[in-house]
Amino acid sequence: MNAAKRAEIFRRLKEDNPEPSTELEYQSVFELLVAVILSAQATDVGVNKATAKLFPVANTPEAIHALGVEGLEQYIKTIGLYRSKAKNVIEACRLLIEKHNSVVPNTREELEALPGVGRKTANVVLNTAFRQPAMAVDTHIFRVSNRTGIAPGKTVLEVEKKLVKFVPREYLLDAHHWLILHGRYVCKARKPQCGSCRIEDLCEYKHKTSDD
């Protein structure tokens, strides 16, 4: 795919959704961090239901740490892998309190040193909370990048690096949100809705579908 096509794809995505954002619900950087940790192999809808009960009760490192693992589990047990996630969140809270004065750090190295925070989670926080040009590649973005030809790659890291390289600078900060929403609602895994896709004429997918 050439640069002109990529630029037009993101121009249209921006035109349709000028200020995209995550569908996770949060009111602070710390709440976002917790929500993203919980969202691994879970839906944003499921995470939002759990955090809607958790955050009014505890939404600081100190408050969640005070719940303890078993206490936190009661709020998030509807989410997959909740036991391991509870342990990670409690330990992350301890480290935030002890090493960062309860403030979520804004560097990849410090974020990835927290339990439950891998490269993708760190990228989400860096991009969404701190507005850094980081690219979190989940299953939706991996699929859209390969299917459309925007940034094909065999691994998540390869796709991430290509997106950072190829997405026009003016669109890079919000590209993550546009791609994830496009994959979630239009370019779906089982059957992409090519007939109603805003960028169908620019997409290089060879097996286009109709919406019938």
Is there a binding annotation on residue 187?
yes
Token digits of residue 116: 């439950």
Q: Which residues are catalytic?
A: 120, 138
Is there a binding annotation on residue 203?
yes
Instruction: Yes or no: say if 186 and 196 are a contact pair by the CB < 8 Å rule.
Output: yes
Is there a binding annotation on residue 197?
yes
Whole-number Å distance between alpha carbons of 126 and 141: 17
108 contact partners, CB below 8 Å, separation of at least 6 = 119, 122, 123, 126, 134
- Report the binding-site residues: 187, 194, 197, 203
